Amino acid sequence: MWNFGGGSCRFSHNSSAEKMRILEESPSYAHGSSSAGQEPQDADYDVPCLSDELETMILARFPIPKHWKMCCLSKRFLTLLKSGEIYKIRRVIGFKEPSVFMLASGEKNWCAFDGHFRSCRKLPIIPSDYNFEWGNKESFSAGTYIFVSGKEVDGGVVWRYELATNEWFKGPSMLSQRCLFASASCGTMAFVAGGIETTTREVLSSAEKYNSESHIWEQLPRMIQKRKSCSGCYLDNKFYVLGGQNEQKKDLTCGEFYDEDTNTWNLVPAMFKDIPLSTPRSPPLIAVANNELYTLDASSNELKVYLKKSNSWKKLGPVPVRADARLGWGVAFKSLGNELLLIGDTSASYSQRAVMKIYTCFPDPHVEKLKWKQIVCSSTNLHPFIHNCAVMLA
């Protein structure tokens, strides 16, 4: 039974699902292709015909890790996938699932996991230069794209990974090349603000918005405060920028948010007053789940939730990963739909045999201590120090 809104459709035993079962049992399927050196072909079975619209709605609901299987089954799906049309349909029907992309220490390839960490695949290597590969990088997502910002020999650059084609492309570059900036995503839009200009090393107050459908960066009004090493999130339909340092290297406890409706920035004084600051530290580790803001205090390994009405933070107990071992560096703390995702190491010092640990939890700001669940994944033999991590909802 497949449900579409309030309606439903029943299939006979010779349905698309049956096609999928036959394909999975074939020898060529086990090797991940229809046949060596051949293009994917539409399966030729004696089955009732479905309308293109109904078939497309069915295909759009297949999980992302199974998309390559569907490409082996149907040339039509391959066309829909590479054009990005299948993801537009998923957005329209409200069918989204998280995927986690990360770059672990010692790896050249980014790894992509499904939201349950049941599958893992390596992305193609970013075709950049030595300077970009070994330099500091920031990452964020928008729509079906992952963006990695860094510096090549010739200057700052943004590389984007396209989920539909499984390829990396250069650009378009930000209007102001920057590093150590805040970023956040909302649907097909990405926001960046602050940071350090990669050439002049000036601390910035400028902000930009990126439309992943038109591939255009748009200048936003400047923030109230210049800041670097800050973090961003999307909360209450607004782009928040938190913490960091100003041009005099003074720690900032204030936050501010950009309101698209009024096209203005608004200051939130003392927003980080309850979070101990230490130097050198990572940018604040923050994540939003169910429209609530959480931070991982790297000095105490405690999770805290932001209380909007009182502009304060409430403790929710310790986390299983030792974020204090490197003052927050190397730890991935992200929102995974309505869950919180935590990736790192459980020991204070990394050993050669150390592997990353993955934990999730369904946060509740009303409890005294959250319960974390360890995710067992056969592909977690990666180094526990995570350089970059981004979550895509597509």
Q: Please compute, for residue 264, the number of CA atoms within 13 A of its CA located in the half-sphere on the CB side.
A: 3
pLDDT of 345 over the 50 cut: yes
Q: Which residue has the higher pLDDT, 45 or 217?
A: 217
- Neighbouring CB atoms inside 10 A of 178's CB total 24
The pLDDT of 367-379, averaged and rounded, is 87
Question: Which comes out higher in pLDDT, residue 76 or 342?
Answer: 342
pLDDT at residue 234 is higher than 80? yes
Q: Find the length of the chain.
A: 394
Statement: residue 321 has pLDDT above 60:
yes
pLDDT for position 37 = 44
For position 5, what pLDDT does the model report?
36
How many Å apart are CA 67 and CA 82, to the nearest integer?
A: 11
Q: Answer whether 239's CB lies under 8 Å from 193's CB.
A: yes
- Take residue 326 and report the two structure tokens written for it: 């490197």
Q: Can you say whether residue 261 is alpha, beta or left, with left for phi > 0 and alpha for psi between -120 and 50 degrees?
A: alpha
Count Cα neighbours of 350 within 13 Å in the Cβ-side half-sphere. 19
pLDDT tens, 59-114? 788 788 877 777 777 777 778 778 888 888 888 888 889 999 999 999 999 999 99
The long-range contacts involving 85-89, CB below 8 angstroms and separated by at least 24 positions, are: 86/56, 86/59, 86/60, 86/164, 87/143, 87/144, 87/163, 87/164, 87/394, 89/56, 89/57, 89/60
Which percentage of the chain shows pLDDT scores above 70? 85
| Confidence class for position 31, pLDDT limits 50, 70, 90 | very low
Quote the mean pLDDT of the chain: 85
- For residue range 267-298, list pLDDT tens digits in order: 999 998 888 766 677 999 999 999 999 999 99
> Where does the pLDDT of residue 18 fall: very low under 50, low under 70, confident under 90, or very high at 90 and above?
very low
* The pLDDT value given to residue 19: 44
User: Tens of pLDDT along 141-154?
Assistant: 999 999 999 999 99
Identify the residue with better confidence: 389 or 48. Answer: 389
Mean of the pLDDT values across residues 26-44?
A: 42
Show the domains of the chain with their CATH numbers. Answer: 12-92 (no CATH), 99-393 (2.120.10.80)
Find the range with the poorest average confidence among 25-34, 41-50, 214-223. 25-34
Encoded amino acid at 130, one letter:
Y
Structure tokens at 203: 């601390």
Q: Is the dihedral of CA 215, 216, 220, 223 positive or negative?
A: positive
Give the mean pLDDT of 181-201. Answer: 95
Maximum Cα–Cα distance across the chain: 73
Look up tokens 């994540």; give the residue: 287
| Residue 275: predicted pLDDT | 81
How many Cβ atoms are within 10 Å of 219's Cβ, its own excluded?
A: 11
What is the per-residue pLDDT for 153? 93
Write down the pTM of the prediction: 0.83
**Model confidence at 327, in pLDDT bands (50, 70, 90)?**
confident
Which H or E run includes 59? Answer: helix 52-60
Name all contacts of 154-159 with Cβ < 8 Å and 24+ positions apart: 155/198, 155/199, 156/198, 156/199, 157/128, 157/132, 159/126, 159/128, 159/132
Distances from the Cα of 162 to the Cα of 57, 67, 144, 148, 252, angstroms: 22, 14, 6, 12, 35
Confidence of residue 21 (pLDDT cuts 50, 70, 90): very low
